[in-house]
Amino acid sequence: MPYQHIQFELAGSGVALVTVNRPDKLNALSRGVVEELGQAASQIAEDPAIRAAILTGAGEKAFVAGADINELAAFSPVEARSYALRGQQVFRKLETLGKPVVAAVNGYALGGGLELAMACTVRFAAENAKLGQPEVKLGLIPGYGGTQRLPRLVGYGRALEMLLAGEPVTAAEAWRIGLVNAVTPQAELLPYCRAWLDKVLANAPLALRMAMEAVDVGLSAGLEEGLRFEAAAFGVCAASEDRQEGTRAFLEKRRAVFAGK
């Protein structure tokens, strides 16, 4: 599928590398970028050869430095609401692919950029990264899920501190408060992401999907509903060929070879 605003590469390991490719604009999220991210999400979801994805930005300055301000400045209220809903839809699609998506935060992740990173399964950041939600400085609030995902990741107080001050945090501080999972030197960021995915993708695909879905259901529906879903998902996994292979391999002291069934 041809793209204009992103690059889409597929490695032999089954990991797609999706790169927002507007380095002259610090990879700002235009409508075109958001639409192509939605198309990429569909491609990842529908292609059985793709088992996971890494999402990053072109160059070494920015992951995604926010929305395209030229577009934001021209929106009517109705257009702004539509813009927010479309971005939320695309980011939610990324969040619920059933396949791990790693945000390789290689620089500024501000506004919509941080919202995009938070919609990924995990976030690994380069040492030079800065992350924040500066929308209040523009007379706005986050529109792509920032007010919802940020407190889920860092807690109520920390989230409001970032949302109301609008100031970015360093990669080290983002790690300290749980906003990112690890911090690496810039040159080691993508190798680190790939190494983590190598460990993850050695596990049973169905179990990975069920684990991610169980966490999502519990966070959105509450503990009781989450526990019910967990029990049902545990039953689905128990009936799978992968469970048979996994337990047999453990008993036979060999590495499991999963089929995703």
Nearest to 152 by CA among 114, 118, 125: 118
Q: Which residues sit opposite 19 in a β-bridge?
A: 7, 56
Choose, from 35, 60, 115, 161, the residue flagged as catalytic: 115
Active site residue 213: no
Q: Which residues sit opposite 3 in a β-bridge?
A: none
Sheet with 62-64, strands from edge to edge, namely 62-64, 108-110, 130-132, 169-170
Q: Rounded CA gap, 115 and 87, in Å?
A: 10
The Cα angle at residue 230 between residues 229 and 233, in degrees rounded to 5: 85
C-alpha torsion angle, residues 35, 39, 41, 45 (rounded to 10): 160
Active site residue 71: no
How far CA 217 is from CA of 147, 180, 214, 225, 260, in Å, comes to 19, 22, 5, 7, 22
Q: Rounded CA gap, 252 and 258, in Å?
A: 15
Choose, from 9, 79, 135, 173, the residue flagged as catalytic: 135
10-46 CB burial, b ≥16 within 10 A, e <16: beeebbbbbbbbbeebbbbbbeebbbbbbebbebbee
> Which residues have a catalytic role annotated?
115, 135
